[in-house]
Structure 1
Amino acid sequence: MPESSALTLDSVSVLLVWTAIAVYALAFIAYAVDLARRGAVAVDAKDAAAQAVRARELALAGGGRGSESIDAVRAQEKKSEAALNAPIGSRERLVWARIGTSLTVLAFLFHLGGDVTRGIAAGRVPWSNMYEFALTGTLLVVAVYLGVLFRYDLRFLGTFITGLVVMLLGGTAIWFYTEIVPLMDPLKSVWLVIHVFVASLATALFALAFGLSVLQLMQARRERKTLALARATAEGADAAALASARKTGPGFLKTLPGTDALESLAYRFAILGFIFWTFTLIAGSIWANDAWGRYWGFDTKEVWTFVIWVLYAGYIHARATRGWRGSRSAWLSIIGFTAVIFNFTIVNMFFKGLHAYSGLS
């Protein structure tokens, strides 16, 4: 926090940031309630019990209940995928999801105000140290999420997005805040505007891909258990076996698109992020040559930027040419984003080098 008691622009920025964090937290709660209500609708105890009884009767009579259950799963997947691509005006009226989205927009405006006032107070772009990069990076995560909502109904990702932003932005405001200081000489370049902004945009796209990949793994587990339940029902398994197989995971997963749709969407975001990250790597090399007289010097930050590029290049290549689909591709996406977070936190805080601009003492 600013030490001066006067209400400076930087103080206003901090106030706006904390207001944004509070509203993001409310949005997180609203989105969480939405997921809980989806689960309650998807899993009705009475209907589940009645279906189990009918399924057992059909199985004992040789009615082929297993194939019917599988068909029901596929029908639900098609319905969820249609909802994913539905235009804004024809989307399902999910009250708590709407509240969560409205609160997210409000928080984004406070967040934007905090970012802009920080930049005005500093007299430069607000991403020259770790605090400012997190401020702008999380802003872009939310901006990309809200922008994507115009094309895809990804409100089921709202809990992840707002939760991630609350943790990153809150942690940054508590532990990484730094006073405004003049730029170091290497940062006095137009590449500060271009290189860091594009890196932040790539990170935002990787974050969406990460969230979708996590849901893909959860959905894959549910689908496996659902098919196992169908087989157990068709084979006339005993009540204990049926009860065990019926535990397919959180109920809200039944209202989400299938694994193929989630994987395809994550892949698209990862490709876009990879394009921007490639530009980040190239622009960083050009900037390094301007600042230090060499394009590459195996500085820790340079190495980890390249490691992230290799991870996502491997993910895209493996999925496109080697047939790595399903859980394996999801794990590659998750590992890639984990490396991004490691690069931002651990590398900035504990590894010294020419890129030591975190602002932390």
Structure 2
Amino acid sequence: MEISALSVLLVWSAATVLVVALIAFAIDLSRQAEHRAAPAFTGASAVVAPRRAAAVGVSTTWLATSLLIAAIVLRGVAAGRTPWSNMYEFTLVGTCASLLAFVLLNLRRDARFLGTFVTGIATLFLVLAVNAFYTPATGLFPALQSYWLVIHVGVAVGAAGIFTVSFLTSSLQLLRDSRDSGGAIVGRPGWRWLDNLPTAGALEALSFRL
């Protein structure tokens, strides 16, 4: 198998693992909502099960991130250059940056409530990259063979990945604030999972730091 083909296979593997993480995080978020809505305490299992699902989500997200890093490295080896010189590679590296921002953030604080949304959008980006943006691994035109391409695109793609997590956090902050204010749409029972998020102020502060 060629190196470039192996890279694509690893991208698909990362996307598949992210789907597992997405399901685990969604189960965690929904079960917490059900537990909060229960009229009385129903036992230790009601609390342990959601957190176990979140732990599975974090572990599989780490695995998916590792697979994606391997895919990006192999893409660079196949092309003989830094792997962020076209839209396909930009999407891969940006997605990897967002996943890294999420898993590293979880080492400092419990941000597993973001898991459903980070893994969901990461899966979407990876599938989009392979199906819509893929180009064969080749070298660069002479006009693009500059260290400035490595620097400015590298910084841009890293920032885009971190801003993706910040964007998701800000979106959740707006939804939480609307629910706390008695919004007609997010006040419905189907939006009860918003009660499991940090306060709107805490979400705003986290987004600002990112």
Tell me the TM-score normalised to structure 1 length: 0.53
CA contact (8 A) 1:35 1:156 kept: yes
How far off its partner does 1:143 sit?
Answer: 0.8
Q: Is structure 2 residue 175 aligned with structure 1 residue 218?
A: yes
Q: Tell me the equivalent position of 1:176.
A: 133
How far off its partner does 1:200 sit?
Answer: 1.1
How far off its partner does 1:222 sit?
Answer: 1.6
CA distances 1:34-57 after superposition (whole Å, capped 9, x unpaired) = 11111111111x45xxxxxxxxxx
Q: Tell me the equivalent position of 1:36.
A: 30
CA contact (8 A) 2:29 2:50 kept: no
CA distances 1:91-136 after superposition (whole Å, capped 9, x unpaired) = x981111000111011111111111001111111101111111111
Q: Distance in 1 between matches of 2:197 and 2:186?
A: 20
Q: Is structure 2 residue 142 aligned with structure 1 residue 185?
A: yes
Match of residue 4, structure 2, among 10, 23, 45: 10
Q: Tell me the equivalent position of 1:251.
A: 192
The alignment partner of 1:149 has SS state of helix
Moved over 3 A (4+): 244-249
Q: Is structure 2 residue 94 aligned with structure 1 residue 137?
A: yes
Q: Distance in 1 between matches of 2:75 and 2:181?
A: 49
Structure ID, larger Rg: 1
CA contact (8 A) 1:209 1:267 kept: yes
Match of residue 53, structure 2, among 66, 86, 96: 96
Q: Distance in 2 between matches of 1:13 and 1:249?
A: 40
Match of residue 204, structure 2, among 255, 258, 263: 263
How far off its partner does 1:157 sit?
Answer: 0.4
Match of residue 120, structure 2, among 163, 185, 192: 163
Q: How does 1:283-322 map to 2 (within 5 A)?
A: none
Q: Tell me the equivalent position of 2:166.
A: 209
CA distances 1:190-209 after superposition (whole Å, capped 9, x unpaired) = 11221111101111221111
Q: Distance in 2 between matches of 1:15 and 1:167?
A: 16
Q: Distance in 1 between matches of 2:186 and 2:20?
A: 36
Q: Distance in 2 between matches of 1:166 and 1:104?
A: 11
Q: CA RMSD in A?
A: 2.2
The alignment partner of 1:36 has SS state of helix
What count of residue pairs does the alignment treat as equivalent? 202
Sequence identity, in percent?
41
Q: Tell me the equivalent position of 1:112.
A: 69
How far off its partner does 1:171 sit?
Answer: 0.8
Match of residue 26, structure 1, among 17, 20, 28: 20
Q: Distance in 2 between matches of 1:93 and 1:221?
A: 25
CA distances 1:285-340 after superposition (whole Å, capped 9, x unpaired) = xxxxxxxxxxxxxxxxxxxxxxxxxxxxxxxxxxxxxxxxxxxxxxxxxxxxxxxx
Q: Distance in 2 between matches of 1:245 and 1:157?
A: 18
Tell me the TM-score normalised to structure 2 length: 0.90
The alignment partner of 1:150 has SS state of helix
